[in-house]
Amino acid sequence: LSPLEYHTLVAVHNVKYQRKRVHEHLRANAYYDQLQLFLNINPKRSCNCSTYNRKNPISGTFRQRLPSHRPEHFHRVHPLLSHHLSRLSRMVRSVVLAATQFACSEDKQANSDKAEQLVRQAAAAGAQIILLQELFERQYWCQVQEKEYFSWAAPFADNPLIARFAKLAAELGVVLPVPFFERANNAYFNSVAVVDADGSILGRYRKSHIPDGPGYQEKFYFNPGDTGFRVFDTKYGKVGIAICWDQWFPEAARALALQGAEVILYPTAIGSEPQDANANSYPHWIRAQLGHAAANLVPVVVSNRIGTEQLPGGSPTAYYGGSFIAGPQGQVLAQVGASELLHGNPDPHPRAVEGFVIASLDLDQVALERAGWGIFRDRRPELYGTLATLAGAKP
């Protein structure tokens, strides 16, 4: 094949946005040199502006940019080249996930700056979908019931927090869910705006399940969400969003999986229980979400805050962090503050530190594994009517 034909085949096997990544894969491994020898490309040949010489950092040889493709060269595919390109096209379905966590202060600007810093660090480490914790702009004010905190809400349209992180997502080329306190006329919601890697805002999800208990008095502030469970088709895959208390409901995770979610994200704020100083919800909390990953064979990412917060009139709450990424068998792939992860289990006592973790997953391979288990093949929706009732049967 000629260099022109080779360039055409690369273009054919690329998916949207991925040409640069495929060429990076070619440069970064032995396939580049193998293909160069196979195609008999002259490394020092030069032509007009569509060609340049670039040194391969591994082999020391020079790489040539190939001319733009032409349709008349689509008819021939050498089996060896087809095998390499098939492998490369499969590689671009790999996604790098990140979970972040940090302590929030009374200074909302400092909180947003810290969030941006962690996003930048995670992106520099290769992350493509980066999760921030629930309502990260403020300390968690739902410890108390005070009408003054309604002034912290802002509309979805022209929201300065969303605009700031949409600009950041476009700069870094990452998918970035942005939790925020939403005001919509006389309604208030605990929401997440989903920003794609080009900075476009794909929409929002409003938290469906609203808790009401000591230290977590969200029903005073938030209406129950009316968006339904939503899956967003992003550059790096289909992302399902649920928020904190939603993570205790298997129906939410299943609804997202049924809509094709390839990753489920849970921004969270959870810690100590003010009514019981001896209560520790961490083991139960993490097992519930690992169960969602395992039951649906879908990776799960969870970001929780750390630090002790006390609002005026409230009790101190210590947020335990433990942010993590789980694989499709419910195994913990990475966890912030973990000393060690044995046999896919979480750290029983992760350190409450600020930072992030990343994990890479092949979404196509996960999809094959999910199909192979037959869980969604063997479902019997006609038998699940009781799930649509509160008491197991309608009166």
Give the number of other Cβ atoms within 10 Å of residue 279's Cβ: 11
Strand 263-267, strand 300-303: pairing? parallel
Task: With beta carbons less than 8 A apart as the criterion, state whether 307 and 348 touch.
Answer: no
Selection from 313, 326, 332, 337 nearest residue 103 by Cα: 337
Q: Answer whether 101's CB lies under 8 Å from 130's CB.
A: no
Active site residues: 134, 207, 244
* Lookup: tokens for 205: 């999800």
Cα–Cα nearest to 301, from 357, 350, 377: 357
